[in-house]
Structure 1
Amino acid sequence: MRSRLPLLAIFPVTVLTIVLGSPFILGNHPVRWESGSALPKVVIGDEKDSSTSSGHKSGTATASSPSGSASSAADALQVAKPWKQGMAQWGVQLYWEEEKTKRSDTFIEKQARKQAEYLIGLGANSVSVSFPFFIQNSTSDTLSAGAKTPSPERLQKVLKVFKDAGFRTQVRPILDEGTLKPTKHWRGDIDPASRSAWFASYKKFLTPYLRAADDAKTNTFVIGTELNSLEGDVGWEPLVSYTEKNFSGEVSYNANWDNYVTGRINMPVNHLGVDAYFPVKVPDTAPVSALVKGWNTWLDRKATGPLPKILVSETGIGAMNGAYHAPGDFYARRAVNPHVQANWYKAVCQVVQERKMQGIYWWSLWFDDDPNTKPDDKVASRLDFAGRPLSEAAIKSCFTSDYAGPGTATTN
């Protein structure tokens, strides 16, 4: 039987009014740099030379390999300590949008190997492949793949590269917000005219991806991400049951952090991830201990003590001044400050270990980027960590720590 995720605490209404009333200021949900962004994107080079490809990041100077031995990692392309049940999931969200000029399958597989090599150098044992699907507006009851949605066949090829290298793999479709931005909506407040039609449309879209994920022996399929307004709907029960019949791995849901700390995540799944962008009101010079305290203050509003059933399914922060106050603000482009990002990573890793959580997936790597190039801060997202030595060192220190994981107890 699937257990419902419990309500452990309720947030005071007054605090909710202050915090949740200003989502974009405080960053209560990640405002992603996805399709529809006004920020420029760099043209990708010839696919014959994948070393020059760059999706949303620019830069020609080669960054130091986080492994210190890129060639040996490339030769073996094998995770040092493959994930096993009960171990921590040390991973990254790999975000994949198909480019306007569709790349060949050969290029896609080579690019997947490049990302795998980089993640092995960081000490990762897990990867989550996130990709967009689309809706016309906030009240639409149909959704679909788009030009930027990878096909199930190509997704399966990428998953195979990571699985062959020993990674724990996860598939995570995520509703693109490009058509919602003009009306100031986001994926967490959509209100389909017909919810039954919406769920029928979602099932139709998911079906070939479930089959591809199952064929690739994927560990987890995320059935929904940050869909606050639809949580608890009766449509989830038959959809999750259908998913479990067509996919042999875990079925998970990724809740947005605001809903997680303020109420019950009423979803018929056994595995819960939290997309965690907790604002911490401290100066840029704050020590790691202050950030740890800030995270624990937020988490304690839900439950105190160990959280072995909870995975930090997505978190990140910009390498810039003022980011602690709004880590979920994906559009701000203030002065670069790599210490802010690195210290945030150190703090989150410490919290995850001290509270016996299941692990972390950092946001993010873009699939078509070359992770071995330094980000060009004139165009690159401040949330890029690849090519930022302090951040890479913090991630590697976390991923190669002695934390054994939450154990083998059944989750949620």
Structure 2
Amino acid sequence: MAVLTLVLGTPFVLGDHPVRWESGSALPRIVTGDPVESATPTTEDPGVSPPSSTAPQPSGTDALQVAKPWKKGMPQWGVQFYWEEEKDKRSDTFIEKQARKHAEYLIGLGANSVSVSFPFFTEGRTSNVLTAGAKTPSPERLQRVLKVFKDAGFRTTLRPIMDEAALNPPAGWRGNIEPASRSAWFTSYEGFLTPYLKAAERAEATTFVIATELNSMEGDPGWAALVASAEKTFSGEVAYDANWDNYVSGRINMPVSHLGVDAYFPVKVADTAPVQTLVDGWNDWLDKKAKGPLPNITISETGIGAMNGAYHAPGDFYTKNAVNPKVQANWYKAACQVVQERKMQGVYWWSIWFDDDPNDAPDDKVASRLDFAGRPLTEKAIKSCFNSAYAGPGTQTTN
């Protein structure tokens, strides 16, 4: 209790990683060096056939459908969903209806892409064991949700992300794990991932993110065999999402087909800074890696708190300064402008909690300041971004 009080009561000073609402815790084969609860495993049969929906299925004019379904070469205008299973484990009918509610909301924003992030668990920074836990959705349930989005015309991504509860954050986080045996770690990780890769294949997902923000594990020879195994199971794009610090400071050596970047870098400006000043901050950060167009890069995750002081620590989940919706909206405007001007593949906003109603305004007494659904200024910025004339990275060839 003392530790919990200390962690939750102390404003988090953002260092080399974002703190997000995750379980209460705080590349051709691409080598990107130049521009261009102690958990209990679930028992899920990886060979189950595709689930048939038990929720009412609309037809005709009532059917959910993206106005312009994503095709290769188009920008990815997306949102990250984070899904933890609740203690009462809502019914399959509920989760399908919930997915439809989210799809309807996203269609209203003009989105064409969805990424579903979900937690898996480890026992500590040096642990070799990676498992599903009580809060990890089963492969079959994730498949049901992906199918709803796919049927509505969205580009879909499945994205497991290591929960940090056992890592003693903020000092310990997923980016500085050091398994006692890396070979055992990769064996365990492959065992966990395979049923989810099969679910993504059955759901016809476009992308499977093999890992997210694992700074200390990047470049390990073990990835080659793991990615090769994943590609035998999943026929879509296998990606890796790097953390913002490692992206600009070094060579991201991962044997995957695509690189995304989780962007939570600080910009030391006042809350009243105009959008162009924030654009300059984004470009200053990206220029540390490469100047000019970045057509091979996706902003796989970005967001910011709707509060005073957020530009100094965009990924800070714990702090709850005075609410300032304009700070969040202007950050979104700036990020969108940079994605378009630098011909990037797109952007995914963090995040919407899967069990939430996106049409409700956030309760700022308890909700994360990073929540954007139900904040009119931010929603207006997203709609403007997603409905822009930007045709995507395929409109030019500069690398």
TM range (shorter): 0.7 to 0.9
| Residue 167 of structure 2 is aligned to residue 180 of structure 1 | yes
RCO higher in structure (CA 8 A, sep ≥6): 1
Correspondence for 1:6: none
Choose from 210, 213, 216 the match for 2:197.
210
Note the 1:282-361 alignment, pairs <5 A: 282-361=269-348
Per-residue CA deviations over 1:62-95 (Å, capped at 9, x if unaligned) read xxxxxxxxx9999231001100000000000010
User: Once the 2 structures are TM-superposed, how far is the Cα of residue 290 of structure 1 from its aligned partner?
Assistant: 0.1
The 1-side partners of 2:24 and 2:351 are apart by 18
User: Once the 2 structures are TM-superposed, how far is the Cα of residue 27 of structure 1 from its aligned partner?
Assistant: 4.8
| Residue 24 of structure 2 is aligned to residue 36 of structure 1 | yes
The 2-side partners of 1:181 and 1:361 are apart by 28
Question: Could you tell me whether the CA contact under 8 Å between 1:309 and 1:411 is conserved in 2?
Answer: no
Question: Could you tell me whether the CA contact under 8 Å between 2:12 and 2:319 is conserved in 1?
Answer: no
Which sits farther off after the overlay, 402-411 or 113-122? Answer: 402-411
| Residue 150 of structure 2 is aligned to residue 163 of structure 1 | yes
Amino acid paired to 1:177: E
User: Once the 2 structures are TM-superposed, how far is the Cα of residue 278 of structure 1 from its aligned partner?
Assistant: 1.6
Correspondence for 2:223: 236
The 1-side partners of 2:356 and 2:208 are apart by 24
Amino acid paired to 1:231: E
| Residue 107 of structure 2 is aligned to residue 116 of structure 1 | no
User: Once the 2 structures are TM-superposed, how far is the Cα of residue 36 of structure 1 from its aligned partner?
Assistant: 3.3
Correspondence for 2:257: 270
| Residue 366 of structure 2 is aligned to residue 379 of structure 1 | yes
Correspondence for 2:85: 98
Amino acid paired to 1:236: W
The count of corresponding residues between Structure 1 and Structure 2 is 358
Structure 1 gap segments, 5+ residues each: 1-22, 39-70
Question: Could you tell me whether the CA contact under 8 Å between 1:134 and 1:144 is conserved in 2?
Answer: yes
User: Once the 2 structures are TM-superposed, how far is the Cα of residue 410 of structure 1 from its aligned partner?
Assistant: 9.8
The 1-side partners of 2:156 and 2:303 are apart by 20
Normalised TM-score (structure 1):
0.84
Question: Could you tell me whether the CA contact under 8 Å between 2:239 and 2:257 is conserved in 1?
Answer: yes
Structure 2 gap segments, 5+ residues each: 1-10, 27-57
Per-residue CA deviations over 1:282-312 (Å, capped at 9, x if unaligned) read 1000000000000000100100000000000
| Residues 1:408 and 1:287: Cα distance change in structure 2 (over 3 Å) | closer
Per-residue CA deviations over 1:343-365 (Å, capped at 9, x if unaligned) read 00000000000000000000000
| Residues 1:238 and 1:245: Cα distance change in structure 2 (over 3 Å) | same
The 1-side partners of 2:275 and 2:397 are apart by 32
| Residue 239 of structure 2 is aligned to residue 260 of structure 1 | no
Question: Could you tell me whether the CA contact under 8 Å between 2:12 and 2:170 is conserved in 1?
Answer: no
Question: Could you tell me whether the CA contact under 8 Å between 1:253 and 1:273 is conserved in 2?
Answer: yes
Question: Could you tell me whether the CA contact under 8 Å between 1:306 and 1:355 is conserved in 2?
Answer: yes
Amino acid paired to 1:348: A
| Residues 1:396 and 1:183: Cα distance change in structure 2 (over 3 Å) | closer
Correspondence for 1:194: 181
User: Once the 2 structures are TM-superposed, how far is the Cα of residue 30 of structure 1 from its aligned partner?
Assistant: 1.3
The 2-side partners of 1:398 and 1:341 are apart by 14
The 1-side partners of 2:383 and 2:164 are apart by 32
User: Once the 2 structures are TM-superposed, how far is the Cα of residue 380 of structure 1 from its aligned partner?
Assistant: 0.5
Correspondence for 1:250: 237
User: Once the 2 structures are TM-superposed, how far is the Cα of residue 329 of structure 1 from its aligned partner?
Assistant: 1.1
The 2-side partners of 1:239 and 1:401 are apart by 38
The 1-side partners of 2:268 and 2:215 are apart by 25
| Residues 1:349 and 1:233: Cα distance change in structure 2 (over 3 Å) | same
Question: Could you tell me whether the CA contact under 8 Å between 1:214 and 1:248 is conserved in 2?
Answer: yes
| Residues 1:24 and 1:299: Cα distance change in structure 2 (over 3 Å) | farther
The 1-side partners of 2:221 and 2:120 are apart by 22
| Residues 1:76 and 1:222: Cα distance change in structure 2 (over 3 Å) | same
What SS class does the counterpart of residue 372 from structure 1 fall into? coil
Identity, % of aligned pairs?
79
The 2-side partners of 1:350 and 1:152 are apart by 36
Per-residue CA deviations over 1:214-252 (Å, capped at 9, x if unaligned) read 011000000010000000001000000011111000000
Per-residue CA deviations over 1:111-139 (Å, capped at 9, x if unaligned) read 00011111111000000000000001000
Correspondence for 2:53: none
| Residue 385 of structure 2 is aligned to residue 398 of structure 1 | yes
| Residues 1:276 and 1:197: Cα distance change in structure 2 (over 3 Å) | same
The 2-side partners of 1:410 and 1:202 are apart by 37
